[in-house]
Amino acid sequence: MLIAPERFDLAGLAGERREAALRGRVEGGEWTDWTETANGDPVWFGGMDELQVRAHDWEPSGTIHYVDLTEPGSAATAARERKAGDGDKPKIISRRRWGANEGCVPRSRPDYGKVKAASIHHTVSAVDYSEAEARGMVLSICRFHRNGNGWNDIGYQALVDRFGNIYEGRAGGLRKAVVGAHAEGVNAQTTGVAVLGTHSSVPITAKAMAALARWLAWKLPVHGHDAKGTTRLVSAGGGTARYPAGTGFRAVRIIGHRVTNYTECPGDALYAQLPKLRTKTQSRINHGRIGL
């Protein structure tokens, strides 16, 4: 058992790509269920101080990175502070609103690529979360990605919570093809959006589905694409990439993370919802065209 140096909201094995499981508790209380994680993904615990780690076929080692934060704001505040967009852009909670200036300022200027597809992710959580906690979850993931994994910034270009809120992710411009750290091998060719929570067996909520469709129905056309159809991606390789460097392959416009990388993300339940997401997103795109 590991006793954290202080209360923590999120924890993970920094830089570790092998599969492991984590559980936590408040000292002397009940342990959460074991939560499986891989590829360096941290786990949301929402205020605990003891942690256990287990793994199969290897001895856990390395650095445990903890993130502790003060719950930022309330559900009502979160709803009021959604950023109004331009044109058909959905309302978005900006980096400033979720606290990126509090320990998650990018290390350097962003790189830019070309968006050909959208990669869908889920995060990992050992406990449920409230709307008020969601912004803190985004901040804690950003701190883990930046300070634990040593990345430039949060890995995703956007995030969505179960209440239908959309959050600005990696800095560099919402309309631009900012290169993230969400899908090794195709980061420069995809935009990544993550749903807060674990969706291995539990589908995303109707509000989360609607928020994903709103975001993608704006983001994909910005780069000249529909939600349906396919595109050709070329892998840059990497330890988690399914395709060796230089290998080209066809992919649909809205893909699950597991299509390009060795991972269970975005979870079986959410992965099964992707056909519905493509349909809803394309419907919104078509509706926008009718209104022109």
Q: Which of 67, 90, 109 is the last residue of a domain?
A: 67
Residue where the block lists tokens 């269920």 = 33
Average pLDDT over residues 173-184: 96
3-state SS class at 91: coil
The residue among 229, 226, 220, 259 whose CA lies nearest residue 242 is: 259
**CATH number for the domain that contains residue 177:** 3.40.80.10
Based on the domain organization, do 55 and 95 belong to the same domain?
Answer: no
- How far apart, in whole angstroms, are the C-alpha atoms of residue 266 and residue 5? 31
Q: By the 8 A CB rule, do 167 and 98 touch?
A: yes
On whether the CB atoms of residues 191 and 175 are closer than 8 A, the answer is no
End-to-end CA distance of the chain: 60
Peptide bond into 266 cis (omega under 30): yes
Among candidate residues 20, 45, 67, the one where a domain is terminated: 67
Same domain as 212, residue 154:
yes
Say whether both 7 and 133 belong to one domain: no
Question: Could you give the residue ranges of the DSSP H alpha helices within 71-152?
Answer: 75-80, 95-98, 131-143
Q: How far is CA 36 from CA 19, 53, 172, in A?
A: 7, 10, 32
Q: Using CA atoms, how far apart are residues 81 and 115, in angstroms rounded to an integer?
A: 28
102, pLDDT greater than 90 = no
d(CA 212, CA 125) in angstroms, rounded, equals: 19
The verdict on 157 and 198 lying in the same domain is yes
Residue 43 sits in which domain range?
2-67
147 lies in the same domain as 35: no
> Is the pLDDT reported for residue 83 higher than 80?
no
Shared-domain flag, residues 61 and 81: no
Residues 131 and 179 placed together within one structural domain of the fold: yes
For residues 33 and 88, state if they share a domain: no
Q: Are 235 and 273 in a shared domain?
A: yes
pLDDT over 90 percentage in the chain: 69
Instruction: Let me know whether 61 and 91 are in one domain.
Output: no
* Number of compact structural domains in the chain: 2
Token pair of 76 as six digits = 């009502």
Q: Which of 67, 102, 122 is the last residue of a domain?
A: 67
| Residue bearing the bigger pLDDT, 10 or 84 | 10
- Structure tokens, 138: 């985004």
Residues 168 and 279 in one domain: yes
Measured CA distances, 133 to 11, 44, 93, 130 (Å): 16, 11, 14, 5
User: What is the 3-class SS of 43-79, one letter each residue?
Assistant: EEEEEEEEEEEECCCCCCCCCEEEECCCCCCCHHHHH
Nearest residue to 186 via CA among 241, 141, 125: 241
Q: What is the DSSP letter of 146?
A: I
Give pTM, 2 decimals: 0.79
Strands laid side by side in the 2-13 sheet? 35-37, 20-25, 43-54, 2-13, 64-67
pLDDT tens digit sequence for 16-35: 778 888 999 987 788 999 98
Q: pLDDT-derived band of residue 79, with 50, 70 and 90 as boundaries?
A: very low
Same domain, 92 and 193: yes
